[in-house]
Each structure stands twice: as C-alpha cells, then as structure tokens.
Amino acid sequence: MDRLPKITLPAIFIVIVLVILISKSAITIGSGEAGVLYRTFGDGVVTDEPPLGEGFHFVAPWNKVFIYEVRRQEIFEKMKVLSSNGLDIQLDASAWYMPKYEDLGNLHQQIGENYLQRILLPTIRSAARSVVGRYTPEQLYSSKRDAIQREIYEETKKIVEDQYIVLDEVLVRDVTLPPTIKDAIERKLKQEQESLEYEFRLVTAEKEAERQRIEAQGKADANRILSASLTDKILQDKGIEATLKLSESPNAKVVVVGSGESGLPLILGNN
C-alpha cells in the first residue's frame, strides 16, 4: 500500500504531459481553410510543401500552424475619388478574392495574415482613383459604368496577381455625384431625350408626306394614261355593253324610247 502512491503520481504526471502534448500537437483545419506550417527549429515558414488541408493533423508542439480561409471572399469599400474635372465622387465597390492556395506559404512569409489591408484594399483604391480621374461626372453617371468597372479590375489584378492573391472580379455597385451635378445631368439627359423624340416625329411626318405625294402622283399618272387611251369608239362600245347588261336585269321593265346624242338607246324602266 505504501508503494502505490509512489507509482500512481508519476503515472498521473505522464498522463498529464501526454494530454498537454497531444492538445498542443493536434490541429483541426475547417472547411474552406488551409494551414501554413511554421517550424520553430527548422527553416521557419514552410514554402516548398503544399499547405495543410482540411481535417485533423498532428504537428510537433513546438511548431505553429497559421490558418487561412481559402474560399472566395468579398470585401466592400466606399471611396472618395475625383473626376476628370476635379469633382468629388463617392464610389461604392466590392471585390471577389482569395489567396493562391499553392502559394499560401509565400503569402504568409512575405505579406502576412493581414494581406487584405496591406495589399488588396490599397491597390483597389489606387486603381479606382486612377480610372475615375479619366472620366467626367456625366460619363460616370450614365454610359461608362461598365468600362470603369472593367478598368479598375484590370489595373488591380495586374498588381495583386504577383502578390499571391487571386482577384476574380471588381464590382462598381454605386456612383454618387454631388446633388447639384446629378440634377444638372438629369435635366440635360431629359432635354436630349425630348429632342430625339421630336426629331423622330419630324422624320415620321416627312416620310408620311412623301408616301402621300408618291401615292397621289401614281394616281394622277394612272388617270392620265387611262384618259389618253379612251377614244370615242371605246366609250361607245362600253356604253352599249352597259346598256345590254341593264336590259337583261330581271328587276327592270325596259321600254326603248329612242336614242340619245351618242346613238345609244334610251332605256326607261321601273322596279
């Protein structure tokens, strides 16, 4: 009985040490995450091996694992920028991004966990200022939204792709102009629309008038040709033909009285 406590205490101590070591060594990496291994007694950040993937891992307790989210993420940013004529413009934009999975070790070693604040956001702001400065407020408000979005994306991507960051898209969600400028642009656009509508009505009226002139000219030409082709003989034949048809009508009682000046018989009748 006296020996039992002497055996039990070391065993309990060993169990406690093992539990501590296991808890320090066990790393669980969640869904959509990856880990960068740092070897304290080695070369530091591991850059020549793939990152630690999802699941359970055992790591030496004196080493560290830095966990990164490697799914696509979205960041929103509100920026004050200047147009080509120096007016203040508020630009609301968002970006879809993720770290390069295979270069996660390099990203951690050269930039760090706060790569979003160090690299991505400053680059987006700089690209937005550069791009918006090429356009007038009217272009920003109406016709150039897609072009601005594309140019900001291309300029940002050109920089961050060498910084181990994948940029999928930059979206310009809203462009806010000073109220006085916005009102002036809307009035101008309305006037242009009314002018275009008036011009359309004028063109339509001119086309209709031209159509009527052509139709009238066609009728006049047809009548002239018809008049030139009618002779007294043709008119007399047509009269005789019409008289015969009238005399054959079952609803008419015909009495031949004599002939008219044209030599055609005069027919009287009642129904």
- Domain residue limits, the chain: 3-69, 73-177, 236-268
How far from chain centre, in Å, is Cα 226?
Answer: 63
pLDDT of residue 31: 92
139, 131 in Cβ contact below 8 A?
no
Query: Which residue reads 């000073």 in tokens?
Result: 178
Average pLDDT, the chain: 79
d(CA 67, CA 170) in angstroms, rounded, equals: 26
Q: At 42, which amino acid appears?
A: G
Return the pLDDT at 186: 59
Pick out the chain residues at pLDDT < 50.
1, 4, 255, 257-258
* pLDDT at site 267: 52
Whole-number pLDDT of residue 42? 84
pLDDT of residue 254: 52
pLDDT in the model for residue 219: 80
HSE-CB for 115 with a 13 A CA cutoff: 25
Q: Note the pLDDT of residue 21.
A: 61
CB 39 within 8 A of CB 109: no
CB atoms inside a 10 Å sphere around CB 195 = 10
Q: What is the pLDDT of residue 95?
A: 95
pLDDT of 229 reads 64
Quote the pLDDT of residue 217. Answer: 84
CATH number of 73-177: 3.30.479.30
